[in-house]
Amino acid sequence: MKPQPQNFKTLVKKRLIDLGMTTTGLARRIGKERNTVSIAINHESMFHPTKDLIRKELGLS
């Protein structure tokens, strides 16, 4: 059986742990409010431009 693809939320949270970075630190690096970044990470259908910034900053494809 193939493993299920990981969703954006899981990928981001694992990458933040790997980098020793917090959501607040990520928000500062991409120039967004912490709340905006948190919502983008945790809600599938919200803040797609912010998700793109997060992917780029964390090196996710």
pLDDT digits (tens, 9 = 90+) for 9-57: 999 999 999 999 999 999 999 999 999 999 999 998 889 999 999 999 9
C-alpha gyration radius of the chain: 11
| pTM, two decimal places | 0.87
CATH top-level class of 8-58 = mainly alpha
The domain ranges of the chain are 8-58
On the 0-12 / 13-18 / 19+ scale of CB atoms within 10 A, 44 is exposed
Q: What pLDDT, on a 0 to 100 scale, did the predictor assign at position 12?
A: 97
Task: Quote the pLDDT of residue 6.
Answer: 80
Predicted pLDDT of residue 3:
59
